[in-house]
Structure 1
Amino acid sequence: MKLNFYSFFLLSLICLFAGSISIFSQAPFNFLPILFFSFPIFFHVIKGIGSENSFFKRLFRFIYFGSIFLYGYFFFGLFWISSAFNYREEFEGLKLLSIFGLPLLLVLLSSPGWIITAFFWGPRLQSCFAIALGVIVGEYSRSILLTGFPWNLFGHSLSFDDRAMQITSIIGVHSASFLVILSSLTPILLINKKTILPGLITAIILPLLIFYGSLRIPDQLNFSEKNFLLVQPNITQDIKLG
């Protein structure tokens, strides 16, 4: 697919939009179904630009459009951090850096994952696995190897239900991210006759996670003793920060 300036710009906006709305899957919104809309959009974009025979050209495009997708995700997911610089005038200059710079840094640290996606790109089902694998490699890269900042992992979107989260005790949050993304790409598999069966399998991932969690968590928790300790320092934040 040849890209002129207008198509390049339009696809960039689409990826930015898809990444931005993906943040609604995280707390406090916890609207995980949004991923079933945003990830198929992203898939169609990179599917259209991923047909290049040249691996390096495909890799460059995947890194660029994948980074645009994640930038929208990180930008709106971490925007609140800038409020930490409202209390001291000398830190006011760091506000813009935190708003625009931190998402950019996380995008750059996540870019190794798109190499995996470009390398394993192929038929529809394989491409879905490639996207899920690439994203979690990027998550692991930026949250464990390089920064220790495991914020807004896609596996965290399972927090919409206590039962759905239980799988992380066995496979970890990064593997949970893989399952969430693969499940979110179910519409891509179901709209093609050749991948309907795999699509039906990915469609039951979330119900199976909830079912497992319901077996692990009893319906009622009974405590023999209930002790609460409330600690509240009697000091205003203005005095503390002053």
Structure 2
Amino acid sequence: MSNKSIIASVISGTIMIFAFPPFDIWVIGWFGMAPLFFAIYDKKPLQAFALGFIWGIVFFLGTVYWVVNSMVNYGGVPVWASVLALLLLVIVLSLYPAVFAYFTFSREKHAFHPSAFRLIFIPFLWVSLEFVRTYLFTGFPWVLLGYSQTAFLPIMQIADITGVYGVSFLIIMVNVFLFNCGLQIADCGFKIKISKMEWIIVFSVLILVFGYGHLRIGQIDNLTKNWRQIKIGIAQGNIDQAQKWDPAHQEGTIDIYRQISIDIAQNEKDIDLIIWPETATPFYLQSDEKFGPLIFDIAKTLAVNLITGSPAHEYTSDGKTINYYNSVFLISKQGGIVNRYDKVHLVPFGEYVPFKRFLPFEKLVAGVGDFSSGKNFKPLALNNDDTFGILICFEAIFPDIARQLLKNGADFLITVTNDAWFGRSSAPYQHLSQSLVRAVEGRTFLIRSANTGISAVIDPVGRIKVKSGLFTREGLVDTISLKERSFTTFYTRYGDVFAIGCIFISIVIFITNARKRGQTCLLTFALFIFSITFFTSAVPFSYFSYWSPFLVFLLS
């Protein structure tokens, strides 16, 4: 493994950081992976694995470095422990590009047309591993490659069919094409001898996707003109994380949100809904006799429906154990709790500690004991007719959660979050951009209420209509259109069939390749299990699909 290969891997990992928020130099994504391909080309599989791992270390250190800030400044964790946690996270995440690099070129030796084989196989492999990363070990789909294009709206529109994974596929395909061109230049001077079929495939796909994007933007804009509208307000309190759970500051916190809400209601007529962020009321709203009535009175006095984040609790059926939830409450304009949503997908180590009996530390979120997971993704009803789905913080980065809420009847989406944890890092910008894609996938308005920002209203094509600053105290007002329930996207109806198809095709390619190497038996067994889980309910398909690429890795 030469120094040039290591440098190329480092360069690729470094420049790809700038394709993502807050830099948003999206064009880098379309060529930034090519240096990695040059680095791992013609290398032994284990050398390629090491170079992919180096790429991952550089890239993820540059995109998730904020973990240290969150743990030290807001979790009270020692610096050494925070750095260690970051390194462990980065190492785990780096295994994905390492496995990708291991297989990228090792399968083309028996291919009839190696360059065409790369163009087909490599994008499928990348998407397969992104899908695995979304769900394996509770999942961490942060900075998936497709999220680098959220500022390039025509390309993002394909997400209503493929989800964000389709955008990742396109990016890798173009990078592979550029790599193939580069190889031809290196071998033949500047006489590029890429086959006509490769040119046709790449440019046809890009033209179709780009054309679809422009056409779809116009269609959705015209469609939303006929949707019924409501006016909403967002209150961004900018409450210091160090004071948030301190009982001495609770009354002051309520005063801040009350005043922002009053300003919204007085400056704008006919506000239907005001949204406060995650745990805006840092006490048990459902049972607090001192502060609960104050919150109800705000909704009643202003004659608006109010949404607020608050911890919730309830006894289990035995009447002895209390379960705690990270919840969102809907308070009617009459001043009473109408309904609540309990967060389902919790943050490990943030909201609960897995294997707590074996680990010597507490969760990072203060205020209550370990949170329990909510039971289902149910939309909440507003005024009996209009329904909305709630995504609490971390849930907004999981495409399938928003999809289930919309499939269950939500007319629009609301995400509430407390991004104070991230400080003034790149994370609030990354979190916002990932939430944006949920609006495109489901063709619905998405309202984002964040304690310290960035709060925003996003339309169904991914445009940010209004947004707040970071670490500012302000109120936002906008009018949104409510999606007709008869209108659903392909992605909402069928979910991640594209990503699952990528996994299936990747395994078929592995088995076809293995036949030529006389190693068919074990890989055929892997495909057999995969097929059984796909066509029957004998084993949960979703569970196996997350593991199948790693199973193939072990068996090949």
Could you say whether these structures have the same fold, taking a TM-score greater than 0.5 normalized by the shorter chain as the test?
yes
Place the TM-score, normalised by the shorter chain, in its bin.
0.7 to 0.9
Q: Which of 79, 95, 106 is residue 108 of structure 1 equivalent to? A: 95
Cα shift readout 1:21-59 (whole Å, capped 9, x = no counterpart): 11222222222321343222122222242xxxxxxxx22
Question: Are 1:35 and 2:25 counterparts?
Answer: no
Q: Gaps (5+ residues) in structure 2?
A: 185-191, 247-556
1:121 equivalent in structure 2: 108
Q: How do 1:47-196 and structure 2 match up within 5 A?
A: 47-49=41-43, 58-85=44-71, 86-109=73-96, 111-122=98-109, 123-191=114-182, 192=184, 193-196=192-195
Cα distance in 1 between the residues matched to 2:108 and 2:41: 9
Give 2:193's aligned amino acid: K
Deviations 1:146-181 (A, max 9, x none): 441111111222312233212122122223312211
Length-normalised TM-score, structure 1: 0.79
Which stretch of structure 1 is more off in the superposition, 168-177 or 73-82?
A: 168-177
2: CA distance between counterparts of 1:75 and 1:201?
A: 35
Asked if 1:16 corresponds to 2:20, the answer is no
Of 147-156 and 157-166, deviating more is 157-166
Whether the aligned pair in 2 keeps the contact of 1:128 and 1:182 (CA below 8 Å) is yes
Q: Is the 8 A contact 1:114 1:138 kept in 2?
A: no
Cα distance in 1 for partners of 2:163, 2:97 equals: 19
Given that residues 104 and 122 in structure 2 are in contact (C-alpha distance below 8 angstroms), is that contact kept between their aligned partners in structure 1? Answer: yes
Q: 1:157 to 1:206 in 2, by over 3 A?
A: farther
Q: Quick check: 2:5–2:38 contact (8 Å CA) kept in 1?
A: no
Residues 113 and 134, structure 1, Cα contact 8 Å, conserved in 2? yes
The structure with the larger Rg is 2
Q: Is the 8 A contact 2:158 2:212 kept in 1?
A: yes
What is the CA–CA distance in structure 1 between the aligned matches of 2:56 and 2:180, rounded to whole Å?
Answer: 23
The 1:76–1:188 alpha-carbon spacing in structure 2 relative to 1, beyond 3 Å, is: same
More helix by share: 1
Contact 2:34 2:175 in 1 (8 A): yes
Identity %: 26
Cα distance between partner residues in 2 of 1:108 and 1:135 = 13
**3-state SS of 2:231 partner:** coil
Q: Could you tell me whether the CA contact under 8 Å between 2:157 and 2:213 is conserved in 1?
A: yes
Check if 1:231 corresponds to 2:235. yes
Report the CA distance between 1:115 and its aligned residue: 4.7
Question: Is 1:115–1:134's contact at 8 Å kept on the other side of the alignment?
Answer: no
The two structures, once aligned, show a CA RMSD in angstroms of 2.8
2:41 partner SS: helix
Choose between structure 1 and 2: higher strand proportion: 2
2-structure distance, mates of 1:187, 1:90 = 45
Query: Structure 1 residue 196: deviation in Å?
Result: 4.9
Bigger mean CA offset, 9-18 vs 184-193: 184-193
Change (3 A) 1:71 1:138: farther
